[in-house]
Amino acid sequence: MRRRVFLSACAVALIGAWPKSSAAAGEESFQILLALAGVVVPDKDPAAWRSGPAADELFSRWRNLEDSRRRGIETALKMLDSEAGKSGDGNTFISLHRKQRAALVSRLLDRSKGFASSFSRLRPLIVRSFYSSRTGFERTGYRRTTQFIGYPEYVQTAENWE
């Protein structure tokens, strides 16, 4: 019981730490998505998905999803909560420890074709968010630069140039 209280407190802290814009969006699902993100890309910094560039990137992508796609993902996220609740302890996915969350995701991927299908859409969202963020660049050693010189003027004024 004491452990559950502690985990719940952590979950509240996690939600509280999230930018106000997220809270204002009222997206409970997003908090489950964040917890899942920590399972899909478990960063060595436990706070990576709580705040910072990766979480910001995920929020931005989540907010810009088409409604139909977001609804499909929300269905999968609800499955996580539902599965977590089957233990009889009133658990939610967020309230589980990271290893428990990972075990639950594995279990669902094995058992549910519907979840596996949704996961294949969730995974890119999370993976791209993390590895497009500064944190992801740091973890992989990635960096890049580009510059553009530009077309000469006679091309820019050519017929059919947009």
Residues forming the site for other proteins (CB under 8 A): 39-43, 102, 105, 123-124, 127-132, 136-137, 139-152, 154-155, 158-162
CA pair distance 162, 159, nearest whole angstrom: 9
Nearer to other proteins, 6 or 151 (CB): 151
Would you state the structure tokens that stand for residue 132, as one six-digit string? 């497009």
Q: Which of 8, 132 has the CB closer to other proteins?
A: 132
DSSP 7-21: HHHHHHHHHHHS-HH
Backbone angles phi, psi at 15, to 5 degrees: -65, -40
Residues 6+ apart with CB under 8 A from 44: none
Nearest approach, Cβ of residue 22 and other proteins (Å): 21
In the complex, the smallest distance separating the C-beta of residue 128 from other proteins, rounded to whole angstroms, is: 4
Q: How far is the CB of 36 from other proteins (least distance, A)?
A: 10
The dihedral built from the CA positions of residue 15, 22, 93 and 97, taken in this order, carries a sign that is: negative
Which CB, 113 or 154, lies closer to other proteins? Answer: 154
C-beta of 86 vs 143, nearer to other proteins? 143
CB of 142 to other proteins, least distance (A): 5
Alpha carbons 73 and 115: distance in angstroms, whole number:
9
Q: Around Cβ 111, how many Cβ atoms within 10 Å?
A: 11
Closer CB to other proteins, residue 1 or residue 161? 161
- C-alpha to C-alpha distance for 104 and 77, rounded to whole angstroms: 12
State in angstroms the smallest separation of the CB of 2 from other proteins: 28
